[in-house]
Structures are given as structure tokens and as C-alpha cells.
Structure 1
Amino acid sequence: MRIAIVYAQKQKSPVSEAIKALARGMESMGHRIDLLDAWTDDGVRLPGYEYIVIAAETVSLFGGRLPEALPKVLSNASSLVGKKSAAFLVKTTPWTTKAMTNLMRVMEKEGMFVNWSDIIINSEQAEALGKRIGA
């Protein structure tokens, strides 16, 4: 299956180890993975994927705010209505569950069908989660 992992970190920075581990887990199950940075990618290619994974971090300690690049990249995609997807948040604060609600709201606003969501605590757990996609 062709899977796009759109990662949205707090700021423009190299991809985190947890997100790399998530991709490794999916690749080990035979999926073709493309990592797309929400800060630099425009999202135009997203409709071409069979499954879209959003992996994000919260921006603020309180309130569960997401990086501003994430809604922009999703809204730039031409049609994500009905697209199967997963929402993952890298745990950075105790209020990550509020951010998960916000993330799912952004995805569902674009018409995406979120059939799985989870909070990533460490790289080992992220790789195990990646192995469960499509299984």
C-alpha cells in the first residue's frame, strides 16, 4: 500500500526518531512510505496515496495547539474526502489528548476518514504501531 506520512513538528527541523521508527515499522510490513514535511511540502500529492498518516507534535504546553503548517498542507490537497487515514501525536506534554482532539477535527474537516489514532510515547512503540497499519 502507498502511504504518506505527513509530519508536523513544532518548527522546521529534521524528522524525529519516533516518526522515523513509525515509517520503519510500516516499511517492514511491505508498504511503500513517503515522508512529507508539513512545513515544506504543499500537499498536492496527497490524493494519490491509499492511506495518509498524520504525525504531529503540539506547539504549546497548554491548549493542545498544532503547528500552523498542518491545516495549510491539508487544505492545499485537492480532494481528501473519504481518504483513509491515521492520526498520531508524539507525546510532548501532559495535555496531548486535547491536541489529539484538535488534530482529528482538522483531518475530519477536510473529509478524511480517521480510522486509527494513538499517542506515540517512544521510538519502540512507534515502530510497533507502524507494523499494525494495514494488518
Structure 2
Amino acid sequence: MRAAIVYYKDKHEKLLRNLSEALAKGLEEQGLTVDILDAKTMMSKLAVYKFIAFGTESTGTFGGKLPEGFTEFLKSSGAMISTRTFAFVLKKGFNPDKSLLSLMSVMENEGLFVVSSEVFSKADEAIKAGKAINVKSGL
């Protein structure tokens, strides 16, 4: 099964990329073929993927805000209604949980089915989550 990890960067590109690679390792252990995509430079639509993880970071002092342009990116990414997804944010700043809730809300408003979500600060957390996500249920 094909999966994608799409990260949308603002300031912490290297950390987001590293966490995406770690999450991919965990998903690959489940037998998935994983592509890691930078949302700001990708040229393809996401409808070809059966499972998609979206990762980003908080903006704003007290969390809850997503990087400018993320919502528009998601709307322009192709028909993904009912696609199983995973949401993650970097553990940076105050209240990253609020940012995670904002991310999940935007995803669900686009018709995506969020099966799980996490706040990551280290790569080993992302690997562990990748191994544990139930990506195949209901497919």
C-alpha cells in the first residue's frame, strides 16, 4: 500500500523532515511504501495514496495557529475524501496540543478521516507512532 508523509514547514524544516523520515521508518515496518513530500515544493496530487500523514508546526506565541497557506494547500491537493490520515505537529512553543487540534479540524473539514494524531519532539517517538498506527483497518 502506498502512503505519503506531507510536511508543511514554516521555520523548522530540518526537524520536520527528520520527524517525517522517522515516521516513515515505522510505517515501512508495517509493509507500506512511503513517499516523503515537502508540501511547498510538491507537484503531485495526493489522491493516489491510501494513507497520508500531515505534519506541521505551531505558529503564534500561544499555539493553535497553523502556518499561513496550509489550509489552501490542503484544499488544492486533490480529491481525498475519506482517506485515512494521521496528524502530527512539532513540540515547540506553548500549547502544541492546541495546534494539533487545529490541524485535525482543517483535515476533517476537507473530508479526511483522521485515525490518530501525535505531538512529536524526538525521532524515536515518530518511529514508535509509525509502527503503532492502524493504517489498514477498513481498507
TM range (shorter): 0.7 to 0.9
Q: Following TM superposition, by how much is the alpha carbon of 1:12 offset from its aligned partner in structure 2, in angstroms?
A: 7.8
Question: What is the one-letter code of the residue matched to 2:27?
Answer: M
- Structure-1 residue corresponding to 2:76: 76
- Structure-1 residue corresponding to 2:39: 38
Q: Aligned partners of 2:37, 2:77: CA distance in 1, in Å?
A: 13
2:47 alignment partner, SS class: helix
Q: Following TM superposition, by how much is the alpha carbon of 1:23 offset from its aligned partner in structure 2, in angstroms?
A: 1.2
2:80 alignment partner, SS class: coil
Q: Return the TM-score normalized by structure 1.
A: 0.88
- Structure-2 residue corresponding to 1:101: 101
Q: Aligned partners of 2:125, 2:13: CA distance in 1, in Å?
A: 22
Segments of structure 2 that go 5 or more residues without pairing to the other structure are none
Q: 1:64 to 1:129 in 2, by over 3 A?
A: same
Let me know the Cα RMSD of the aligned residues: 1.9
Offset from partner CA, 1:19-46 (integer Å, 9 cap, x none):
221111112222111111122125x421
Q: Aligned partners of 2:88, 2:23: CA distance in 1, in Å?
A: 10
Aligned residues: 134
- Show structure 1 runs of 4+ deviating over 4 A: none
Deviates more, 1:60-69 or 1:74-83: 60-69
Kept in 2, the 8 Å contact 1:39–1:69? The answer is: no
Identical positions, percent: 34
Deviates more, 1:3-12 or 1:46-55: 3-12
Q: Aligned partners of 1:106, 1:92: CA distance in 2, in Å?
A: 20
